Amino acid sequence: MSLPKTEAELLAAIHTIFAEKIPFNRVLGLDVASLQHDSPTLRFDMRPELVGNFIRGNLHGGVISAVLDVTGGLTAFLGLQQKLKDEPLEARIERFARIGTIDMRVDYLRPGLGKWFESKGSILRTGNKVAVTRMEMFNDSGDLIAVGTGAYTVA
């Protein structure tokens, strides 16, 4: 992948990294629906491989937490991009390699039932070393099924 030269190329590179370059995201079937700096959104379809309760046919809790974690990481990275907006784009994209989960909490509110799901993130704080994010997952009916809060290294 060539290095980005414009803000649009940076967002395209971020989309490619999250949707195509990370193998686990491909396993989950994640697609980047929005790269808004204040509220990125990931989307994925329900598939038999993601079922946790075979009787009810709902999402496995690990899938929910993994998607919330990916959403939190993306949110932290985009929050960092806003903080680094005066740095060269090459340096900004290289910071992706430093993003890592420190801690995450998930609250499961409803069973993960639906044809597709969206996970949205928001940045609570971006510091010099740590970013804190809030994530929410909705099903295709708009029901809030889980929320999470995560802390991510960004240094």
pLDDT tens track for 63-97:
999 999 999 999 999 998 888 888 887 778 778 88
In a domain, 1, yes or no: no
Nearest C-alpha neighbor of 75 from the set 101, 94, 108: 101
Residue 149 counted as domain residue = yes
Q: Is residue 45, in this structure, part of any structural domain at all?
A: yes
> Given this model, what pLDDT does residue 140 score?
98
* Burial bucket for residue 125 (CB in 10 Å: 0-12, 13-18, 19+): exposed
Give domain status of residue 52, yes or no: yes
The whole-number average pLDDT for the span 112-119 is 98
In the chain, the number of structural domains is 1
Domain residues for the domain of 32 are: 7-153
Q: What is the structure's pLDDT at 1?
A: 47
- Whether residue 127 is predicted with pLDDT greater than 60 in this model: the reply is yes
Residue 2: inside a domain: no
**Considering the domain boundaries, does residue 67 fall inside one?**
yes
Residue 41 in any domain: the answer is yes
Q: Which CATH number do you get for residue 72?
A: 3.10.129.10
Residue 146 has pLDDT above 80, yes or no: yes
pLDDT of residue 14: 82
User: Is 53 within a domain?
Assistant: yes
Question: Does residue 106 surpass a pLDDT of 50?
Answer: yes
Q: What is the pLDDT of residues 15-54, one digit of tens each?
A: 888 888 899 999 999 999 998 888 999 999 999 999 999 9
- The model's pTM is 0.90
How far is Cα 59 from Cα 53, in angstroms, rounded to an integer?
7
**3 state DSSP class of 56:** coil
Model pLDDT, residue 5: 62
